[in-house]
């Protein structure tokens, strides 16, 4: 978001002309928006009783086309709450990539997968701007209450594109907010996804009943 400025217009143009360009990108770098600090507390807090029903996780998986044999990426996997549910859904012929920037989360999920005897889970320690997924590896992606913590959302989504199989779906569940209050406005998400090369396919508000949460489904646009 640009703040109101009282600089002379010529100086503003000079500042834009001298703005640095991120590696691998061309043109001006989009303005950074506020983001929340990634959660680093007790991971078991994500496994609160009744969360399946509140988020209607089975319906979420239905809408994302998560079925036996599919490959799924859980970006910002945290405790692996969604990871293990997706792993049970896709079965032994599918794979679920648990992606997180926190090494403790990856270790936690690895131990959880062993305990729950889910051999189809693969942990990936990502970077803030790249999920580090194999090329053309996933049929569906979910960012569950994670997008507001992504430091470089447009770049992350751009880097995700190479990992998508044809027809892949990308789901984002988050809550309304200003970016730094553990929420982000859905119009901001839609705009950033569009800039990264995605089109909005569907919008839902059934996740939780407080009218704060939303569920957006995107697909990559053809080049």
Mean pLDDT of the chain: 82
Strand order in the sheet with 95-100: 121-125, 95-100, 71-75, 138-144, 164-175, 213-220, 198-204
Confidence of residue 7 (pLDDT cuts 50, 70, 90): very low
Domain limits, the chain: 45-220
Q: Percent of the chain, pLDDT > 70?
A: 74
Asked if pLDDT for residue 47 goes beyond 90, the answer is: no
How far apart CA 19 and CA 109 sit, in angstroms, is 40
Whole-number pLDDT of residue 40: 59
pTM (2 d.p.): 0.80
Largest pairwise CA distance in the chain: 64
Whole-number pLDDT of residue 208: 66
How far apart CA 217 and CA 63 sit, in angstroms, is 9
Asked if pLDDT for residue 117 goes beyond 70, the answer is: yes
Whole-number pLDDT of residue 77: 95
Mean pLDDT over residues 99-123, rounded? 96
Angle between helices 103-115 and 81-90 (to 10 degrees): 40
Q: What is the fold, at CATH topology level, of the domain defined by 45-220?
A: Rossmann fold (3.40.50)
């Amino acid at each position: 978001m640009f703040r109101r400025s009282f600089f002379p217009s010529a100086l503003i143009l000079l500042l834009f002309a001298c703005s640095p360009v991120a590696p691998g990108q061309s043109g001006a770098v989009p303005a950074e928006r506020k983001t929340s600090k990634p959660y680093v507390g007790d991971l078991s807090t994500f496994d609160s009783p009744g969360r399946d029903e509140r988020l209607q996780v089975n319906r979420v998986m239905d809408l994302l086309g998560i079925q036996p044999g599919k490959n799924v990426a859980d970006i910002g996997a945290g405790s692996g709450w969604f990871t293990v549910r997706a792993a049970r859904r896709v079965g032994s012929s599918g794979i679920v990539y648990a992606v997180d920037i926190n090494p403790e989360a990856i270790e936690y999920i690895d131990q959880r997968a062993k305990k729950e005897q889910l051999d189809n889970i693969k942990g990936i320690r990502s970077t803030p701007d790249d999920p580090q997924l194999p090329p053309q590896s996933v049929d569906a992606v979910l960012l569950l209450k994670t997008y507001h913590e992504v430091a470089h959302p447009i770049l992350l989504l751009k880097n995700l594109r190479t990992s998508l199989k044809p027809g892949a779906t990308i789901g984002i569940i988050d809550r309304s907010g200003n970016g730094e209050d553990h929420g982000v406005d859905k119009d901001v998400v839609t705009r950033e996804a569009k800039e990264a090369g995605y089109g909005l396919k569907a919008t839902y508000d059934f996740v939780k009943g407080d009218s704060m949460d939303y569920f957006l489904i995107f697909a990559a646009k053809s080049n």
